[in-house]
Amino acid sequence: MNYAGIPDEFAQLETSKIILIPVPYDGTSTWIKGADKGPEAFLEASANMEIYDIETDSEVYKQGVYLADPVTETSYPEEMVDAVQETASKYIKQGKFVTLFGGEHSVSICSITACRENF
């Protein structure tokens, strides 16, 4: 499955400028669970969206959008943070524009830390 159903030629790691990292994590939610279903719902919905961007008058996906494997570490919050940070750092070091989508809000610290360490 490619993000937004884009053609395979625009979804290859080697040629993509943008990396999407799914993080289906819901380990510290205390009220209503279900944030771990976010990445799957996001990707499913993306197949039905318009991929032309009227504001930039372009098809941004043609810069390449690679959908990385999900980070599924759930044993402890600290382990999830380390796993996501490591994954994000790997792509940042390759000069990629990294975006996480999850999961609960705690996944945000992972990308912030990865950026801080690599810039």
Q: pLDDT tens digits for 11-32?
A: 999 999 999 999 999 888 788 8
Tokens in use for 29? 């939610």
Report the pLDDT value the prediction gives residue 29, as an integer from 0 to 100: 79
Helices (H), 1-119: 38-46, 77-92, 108-118
Tracing tokens 């810039």 back to the chain, one arrives at: 119
The conformation of residue 103, written as its DSSP 8-state character, comes to S
CA-nearest of 32, 43, 109 to 70 is 43
Report the pLDDT value the prediction gives residue 33, as an integer from 0 to 100: 84
Is the alpha carbon torsion for 91, 63, 112, 35 positive or negative? negative
The one-letter code for the residue type at 31 is: W
Check if the beta carbon of residue 1 is closer than 8 Å to that of residue 65: no
For the ranges 6-15, 76-85, 89-98, the lowest mean pLDDT is seen at 76-85
Residues 106-116 have pLDDT tens digits of: 888 888 888 88
